[in-house]
Amino acid sequence: MKKLHVNVSVNNDDLEFLCNPEDTLLDVLRNDLNLTGTKEGCSTGDCGACSVILDKKLVCSCLVLAAEVDGSSIDTIEGMAEENKLHVLRKIFRACCFTMWDLYSRNFNSGKSSSWKKSKSYRERG
């Protein structure tokens, strides 16, 4: 099968790669360009794990053919990393959000976990 030649800018680096017509942008980012910060989840455009910024628009890279991005600019999560600095989006996320582990451990340690109480009362009922 004939490979397609694609030129792109990825995280401000001009790159070129060869791909099969059916390869997704996600395939090429992870397997050929070794940008594994872009994750594969559902492969159907539902989860967003594969999100990248393509020509200033957020897209699911699992739904974009690699051959379609010729001449485009792509930003991945790796492009948001600066040496010893957090990208502004990461700072905002860190300031505003917490992980499920934070939620679980806070509730568990304070004894306010509703799921803990439910499971305890379920056991008490026998």
- Record the tokens describing residue 124, joined without a space: 């008490």
Question: Closest CB to ligand FES among 53 and 113?
Answer: 53
How many residues in the shown chain lie near ligand FES by CB under 6 A?
12
Per-residue burial over 29-61, b = 16 or more CB atoms within 10 Å of its CB, e = otherwise: bbeebebeebebeeeeeeeeebbbbbeeeebbb
CB of 40 to ligand FES, least distance (A): 5
**By CB under 6 A, what part of segment 12-71 binds ligand FES?**
40-43, 45-50, 60, 62
Query: Alpha-carbon distance 38 to 61, whole Å?
Result: 8
Rounded to whole angstroms, the Cα distance separating 1 from 40 reads 25
Rounded to the nearest whole angstrom, what is the least distance from the CB of residue 64 to ligand FES in the complex? 9
- Would you say 45 or 79 has its CB closer to ligand FES? 45
| Site membership for ligand FES, residue 89 (CB under 6 A) | no
Q: Given the rule CB under 6 A, which residues bind ligand FES?
A: 40-43, 45-50, 60, 62
